[in-house]
Amino acid sequence: MSLSVCAIFRNEAPYLREWIEFHRIVGFDRFCLYQNNSDDDWQSALRPYLETGVVEVTDWPMASPAQLPAFQDFVDRHGQSDEWVAFIDCDEFLFSPDHGTVLEALDQGPFKECGAVAVNWLCFGAAGQEDVIDGLVIERFTVRPKDTFWMNDYVKCLVKLDRLEALSNNAHHFITRGETVNEQGENVPDKFNSPPTHRLLRINHYATKSRSEWLKRVTLGRVDVPCHRSAGEFENYQAAEVDDRTIRRFLPKLKRRLGAA
């Protein structure tokens, strides 16, 4: 089976190439993106991928909540495809700690009869950064709260698209033929898997980046619900309890692909 991503974005131009190339390294080959009222130069960032067909962009000017309708549009157009689809955001990096690709990890797990796999977050903070500094996201932010931080109970799903029956009322969980299971094969009935597990698959969720990046994000509003984040939410993610550089094993290859020093 192939691997695809479906995501909606707003003003993510500085981060899109890193996010796409990272996921290509771990085995994703198609990106179906919904552009929601961006006013940055996302076209330049995505042009090479649009020309080769790796990325497909749909303009999606809907006011928030826009995310679930975008996902529904994707399902309406691609719903019978024989593929795994990750419904994630552009600040989320999905990978396996032990395997080179996500498909290799899926082949090792108890996922043959399931409809979807629920993958827990690990949320990262700003690593003390007040402003944007040089470097890629996965090298700039390496400290996070402990595994049991309550936000790490959230999951995002890898869905077998031909087993998807309907969206639910949130972007974290889907209604499928066959259960949604965690990496241990246990049923996950909603958007939380507690205690969280990250042995076979994980999502590094760069929830804030630096303080200045967070404050800029606050001004943009949200694509999933019709409200704004608060500046104070930033502090929720800043406990520097774990120095976690697991994802950095992909950094040399990622820099080569990006032409970075």
| Chain segment 84-133, per-residue pLDDT in tens | 999 999 999 999 999 999 999 999 999 999 999 999 999 999 999 999 99
pLDDT band at 81 (very low <50, low <70, confident <90, very high): confident
> Which range has the worst mean pLDDT, 19-33, 166-180, 193-207, 214-228?
214-228
The amino acid sitting at 212 is S
For residue 159, list its beta bridge partners.
85, 116
> Could you tell me which residue, 257 or 260, shows the higher pLDDT?
257
pLDDT at 206 over 60: yes
pLDDT band at 231 (very low <50, low <70, confident <90, very high): confident
pLDDT band at 260 (very low <50, low <70, confident <90, very high): low
pLDDT reported for residue 221: 78
Q: Are strands 30-35 and 55-59 parallel, antiparallel or unpaired?
A: parallel
Q: Quick one: fold of 2-258? A: Spore Coat Polysaccharide Biosynthesis Protein SpsA; Chain A (3.90.550)
> Which range has the worst mean pLDDT, 92-101, 158-167, 216-225, 243-252?
216-225
C-alpha–C-alpha distance, residues 239 and 247, integer Å: 19
Please state, for a pLDDT cut of 90, what percent of the chain lies above it: 91
- For residues 236 and 145, is the Cβ–Cβ distance under 8 A? no
pLDDT reported for residue 79: 80
pLDDT at 214 over 60: yes
pLDDT reported for residue 178: 96
First-to-final CA distance of the chain: 34
Report helix angle 13-25 to 42-52, nearest 10: 30
pTM: 0.96
- For residues 114 and 198, is the Cβ–Cβ distance under 8 A? no
For residue 3, list its beta bridge partners.
84
For the chain, give the mean pLDDT. Answer: 95
Q: Where are the domains of the chain?
A: 2-258
Average pLDDT over residues 13-17: 98
pLDDT reported for residue 223: 73
pLDDT reported for residue 95: 98
What six digits make up the tokens of 154? 């959230």
pLDDT band at 225 (very low <50, low <70, confident <90, very high): low
Q: Are strands 30-35 and 116-124 parallel, antiparallel or unpaired?
A: unpaired
C-alpha–C-alpha distance, residues 221 and 17, integer Å: 22
> Could you tell me which residue, 220 or 17, shows the higher pLDDT?
17
